[in-house]
Amino acid sequence: MGEFVRLEVEAGVGTIRLERPPVNALNDQVQRELAAVAREASERDDVRAVILYGGEKTFAGGADIKEMAARSYVEMSSFGADLSNSLTALAEIPKPTVAAITGYALGGGLELALTADRRVVGDNVKVGQPEIQLGIIPGAGGTQRLARLIGPSKAKDLVYTGRFVKADEALAIGLVDEVVAPDDVYAAAHKWAAQFAGGPAVALKAAKAAIDGGLDMDLRNGLKLETNLFVALWATEDQRNGMQSFIENGPGKATFEGR
């Protein structure tokens, strides 16, 4: 367990919680701790789904600008690669993930949220990629994951202008998936994640690998990836249990072991 980032696990749901007041800025230590908990969440069998959460007040305000401003080009070459790799480790958690966003998610904070499969926000949040206002661009997924999520034209608007986006617009353009009252953000994210606690873990892992991997391929190779992952599930206990339960009891009643 790190000083600023920790993994809490209850009933199959793991919560990756950031606690670096006042705004959860992503400095060197935070990015290292994020990478560490991403590996832990990936490896633990008792974690079936993951919530990214920055607390009740704010999700994450981005990188630590004071720390970054003092760095040389050589130093930033190392930090930039490490930050990108840390967020990629979160994106590659082979389980359903959801970001529970309160307050705001800006710059690196939005890039952190983009690593999740789903984003739940309070109706008072603001999100954005304001790096252009500092004379730089997003450097940890804000030009790549954002464009893949909402399309290049909308991504360019947000990145070029650096403007803040309110919850209603973020929902309309597909940047977030659910808007709730501010006090209900974590509960709504937990409700979504908890449905996978007893799910077929291997099949869920395959589904995520097929969707995410396919986005990096042309359709023909994506379909080959899908077929290989689909067929491989016939080596699992969950496939046998799921199909036998369907035959005997109908849909939606199977008990899965995650094997």
Assign 10 to helix, strand or coil. strand
97-101 vs 104-106, strand pairing mode: unpaired
178-180 vs 126-128, strand pairing mode: unpaired
Under 8 Å between Cβ of 37 and 6: yes
Which of these, 235, 239, 211, lies nearest to 225 by C-alpha position? 211
Assign 8 to helix, strand or coil. strand
Find out whether the peptide bond into 94 is cis, omega within 30 degrees of 0: no
Under 8 Å between Cβ of 214 and 181: no
- The residue annotated as part of the active site, out of 111, 178, 226, 257, is 111
Under 8 Å between Cβ of 113 and 131: no
Tell me whether residue 257 is one of the annotated catalytic residues. no
* CA separation for the pair 220, 41 (Å, rounded): 32
- The residue annotated as part of the active site, out of 67, 131, 226, 248, is 131
Tell me whether residue 131 is one of the annotated catalytic residues. yes
Q: How far is CA 74 from CA 81, 134, 219, in A?
A: 11, 19, 39
Catalytic residues: 111, 131
